[in-house]
Amino acid sequence: MNLKLTVIIASCLLTVSQTEAGDVFDESVFSELDYGLYWAGKDNEFEKAGVDTQDGSEFYDPAKPTLIYIHGWQSDTVVDQYRESFYSDVNGRPNIDFADLWVDNGYNIGIMYWNQFADESEVKDAEAKIWSTKGDKAMRWLDSNGSYHYGDVSEPVPELLLEDYIWSMTGYSGSDIRIAGHSLGSQVAIRLTRLLQESAAAEEIADNLVPERLTLLDAFFSNWPKSYLGWQWTGEESRELVQEMIEQEDTAIDSYRTSLVTSSIFVGDENEDLHNQVAFSEQTTGYFDITEQTEKHIAAVWLYLWSIDYDSPDVTNNALSGISAKADNELVRQWMSSDYQISQSAGGSTKDPVDDAYRAYYR
């Protein structure tokens, strides 16, 4: 890998969220600490979830299937008052409000924000907050004046989001919840899902509040052992949690890779063993060139969100259909228990998933 491409890959995570629309949220969510679940409505509107919405609201129906999305690293965004949303036409995204698609398909859809913790110049400092309060930056968070705040948060990010999730979802009466994490947010999604399973096992929450589906979108795990994990890699810890979910809870887990960000020794741990545990899809993003790794990395999100509008894609050399947002949990489990993963073989030069097809190959 040449030096130029290495620099591009190493820096692309820095620019993932810098150009999101900044006028969706009030300034107060950036000047004061604000994290947790926001429900999305049509036309790029959001409402804060919580006790006031748990029995239903304008954007949330407690009987409907539900997708909760968790973003990744958010360097240099809080001062600019930017938050990720489901609509943006920058970084190669289609000009589509993907919340509209999910609402039209009968879903609640929301975002779990942890952006003020995730706004660090070094991705590993944000990553540490997912696993421990004892990383180099502890649990500091950034406000819109550019000031970091220390000492007022005593739990890692997933534990904070767990409490917020329970407040928001206590009135849920449905049976279909999925959590999807992008990039570094995949680690948050893994830990949060496992915490919910443990809470249900301890009879602290109802069983139907536990997600049956976990989706990893171009999941990122940094290289090298971490002191706050007893010198294990974050990828190792994640694999152990995933194995517990599979063996103890039969969780349906699908993973999609779209860039070199997550599979380069210079940036991320490929974590091949984790992908071999789950239903895995390698997606082609030929409409971006090899230097556009930011765009490729972000594509995992919108490709997944868009795929709810289409039937599961064909796999030309296998009787099973491919995995996608439209695929049901049982299909995901079938791929998990098979000897195969899938790789895109058609439709990779167009953004619209309508023409996508795949081939199966041995793990």
Average pLDDT over residues 166-171: 97
Average pLDDT, the chain: 94
Q: Which residues contact 244 (CB under 8 A, 6 or more apart)?
A: 194
Residue 4 has pLDDT above 80, yes or no: no
What proportion of the chain, given as a percentage, has pLDDT over 90?
90
Summarised one tens digit per residue, pLDDT across range 148-162 is 999 999 999 999 999
User: Helices 234-244 and 185-201 meet at what angle, rounded to 10?
Assistant: 40
Spatial separation of the C-alpha atoms in residues 293 and 291, rounded to whole Å: 6
pTM of the model: 0.95
Burial string for 25-52 (b: 16+ CB within 10 Å, else e) reads beeebbeeebbbbbbbbeebbbbbbeee
Query: What letter does residue 326 receive in the DSSP assignment?
Result: S
Residue 50's CATH number: 3.40.50
Structural domain of residue 96, as residue ranges? 3-362
pLDDT greater than 70 at residue 138: yes
Amino acid identity at 198:
E
**Rounded-to-integer distance, Cα 360 and Cα 346, Å:** 13
Partners of 70 in beta bridges:
112, 181
**Phi and psi torsions of 72, nearest 5°:** -105, -145
**Do the strands 46-48 and 36-40 form a parallel or antiparallel pair, or are they unpaired?**
antiparallel
* Strand, helix or coil for residue 333: helix
Alpha-helical runs (H) found in the chain: 3-12, 28-31, 98-104, 115-118, 123-131, 157-169, 185-201, 234-244, 272-277, 293-306, 329-337
Q: What is the mean pLDDT of residues 304-312?
A: 99
Residue 257: name the closest of 344, 355, 147, 195 by CA: 344
Which residues touch 29 (CB under 8 Å, ≥6 apart)?
A: 83
Kindly tell me the sign of the dihedral angle through the C-alpha atoms of 113, 117, 118, 119: positive
The confidence score (pLDDT) of residue 6 equals 40
Count of domains for the chain: 1
At 1, the pLDDT band (50, 70, 90 cuts) reads very low
Could you report the per-residue pLDDT of 172-181, keeping only the tens digit for each?
999 999 999 9
- Pairing between strand 66-70 and 177-182? parallel
